[in-house]
């Protein structure tokens, strides 16, 4: 007992008081469900059973591992940003291809009007079934994206890019007119509406973004992304994509060595990095990615320039081994399986239907 006023010790509660509070909560639940619809509020233990976050593979085993959940999360917003020609759109298209490979549907909002169907097909995208929109204004792009997402039928939505989302007022103005903060306000309003829609639909919503330089920064990083600060807050995952080296065959550049840093991750520890090859015209080199991880995890032994898998020598030199793995899918599959097991990320899962897609589809998008 508390010596000062005779009340129960801290943490203890009178059973009658506890019962009174439970009745008050039940009355509040009843009123909220009547006013806003059944399921508007619940105890966490009464909802769907909590399990691992559903994810869509990025097409790179090392990036899937860096993300901590085996890919990009469903029901969340993801931002992919970086300098020009660093591989942002390639990674987004690889995610689209992985979603389609698992039987899912994907939409690509091409605000930059720069989507190359031949390149997308080379990455494994099923272009015949890919939903594509090339909107005129930023408002139109985000409205289309919201309607598609709220339909509950799309697994991945990509907006390429935030910098190309031109507000209608700016488009209708003259060259040289000042439009301070229009794009930032547009993104802030859109993200407030999109967050709930994306969660209900269980889709992965990807924004591709560009880098800009802050003026007058003397100390620290002068880089920032376009579209204001809202996306930085609403995104559950942010990927910083950088080109770190060129890959050459003789004097010819045939690809880039790319480093991706997970600068924000609400679902796993952030600041992990992944490095892999992006080959021109072919996308992420799965063979090179798996080979590097296999050597790192001891699945493949490297002695000098020679690589050995089990008792078999599979080639001399990294590029030769990559070609060998591409030509022998069974060997590649065996190595990839062991690498995934060693990293604890498992095989890429097929898309999981949203738990309430019918309900999501029944909720019409609010017009802007």
Grouping H, G, I as helix, E, B as strand and the rest as coil, residue 135 is: coil
Distance CA 147, CA 278 (A): 33
Q: Is 181 left (phi over 0), alpha (psi -120 to 50) or beta?
A: left
DSSP string, 244-278: EEEEEETTEEEEEEEEEEEEEESSS-S--EEEEEE
Which of 228, 253, 196 is CA-nearest to residue 75?
196
Counting other chains too, the contacts that 51-54 makes at CB distance below 8 Å and 24 or more residues apart are 53/267, 54/202, 54/349, 54/352
Distance CA 48, CA 244 (A): 43
312: tokens are 């078999």
Which of 292, 270, 231, 242 is CA-nearest to residue 78?
231
Residue set of the binding site: 82-89
Residue set of the binding site for ATP: 82-89
Report the interhelical angle of 329-343 vs 286-297 (nearest 10°).
50
Grouping H, G, I as helix, E, B as strand and the rest as coil, residue 227 is: coil
CA-CA distances (angstroms) from residue 89 to 2, 92, 111, 123? 64, 5, 12, 11
* CA-derived radius of gyration, the chain: 25
Distance CA 129, CA 126 (A): 6
CA-CA distances (angstroms) from residue 258 to 82, 210, 278, 296, 366? 11, 16, 7, 18, 40
Do 58 and 218 meet the contact criterion of CB atoms below 8 Å apart?
Answer: no
């Amino acid at each position: 007992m508390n010596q000062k006023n005779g009340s129960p010790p801290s943490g203890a509660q009178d059973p009658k008081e506890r019962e009174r509070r439970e009745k008050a909560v039940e009355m509040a639940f009843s009123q909220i469900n009547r006013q806003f619809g059944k399921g508007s509020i619940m105890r966490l233990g009464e909802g769907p059973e909590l399990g691992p976050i559903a994810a869509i593979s990025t097409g790179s085993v090392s990036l899937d591992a860096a993300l901590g959940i085996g890919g990009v999360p469903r029901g969340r917003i993801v931002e992919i940003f970086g300098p020009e020609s660093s591989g942002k759109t390639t990674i987004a298209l690889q995610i689209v291809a992985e979603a389609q490979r698992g039987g899912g549907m994907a939409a690509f909002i091409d605000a930059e009007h720069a989507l190359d169907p031949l390149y997308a097909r080379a990455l494994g995208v099923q272009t015949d079934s890919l939903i594509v929109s090339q909107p005129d204004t930023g408002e139109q792009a985000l409205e289309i994206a919201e309607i598609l997402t709220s339909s509950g039928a799309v697994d991945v939505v990509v907006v390429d890019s935030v910098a190309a989302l031109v507000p209608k007022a700016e488009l209708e103005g003259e060259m040289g007119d000042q439009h301070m903060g229009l794009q930032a306000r547009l993104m802030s309003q859109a993200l407030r509406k999109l967050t709930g829609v994306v969660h209900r639909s269980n889709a992965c919503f990807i924004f591709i973004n560009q880098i800009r330089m802050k003026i007058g920064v003397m100390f620290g990083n002068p880089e920032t992304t376009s579209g204001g600060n809202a996306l930085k807050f609403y995104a559950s995952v942010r990927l910083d994509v950088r080109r770190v080296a060129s890959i050459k065959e003789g004097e010819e550049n045939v690809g880039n060595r790319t480093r991706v840093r997970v600068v924000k991750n609400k679902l796993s520890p952030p600041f992990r990095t992944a490095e892999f090859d992006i080959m021109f015209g072919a996308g992420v080199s799965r063979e090179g990615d798996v080979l590097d991880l296999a050597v790192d995890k001891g699945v493949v032994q490297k002695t000098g320039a020679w690589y050995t898998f089990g008792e078999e020598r599979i080639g001399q030199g990294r590029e030769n081994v990559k070609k060998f793995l591409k030509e022998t899918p069974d060997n590649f599959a065996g190595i990839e399986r062991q690498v995934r097991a060693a990293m604890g990320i498992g095989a890429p899962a097929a898309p999981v239907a949203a738990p309430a897609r019918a309900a999501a589809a029944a909720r019409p998008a609010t017009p802007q």
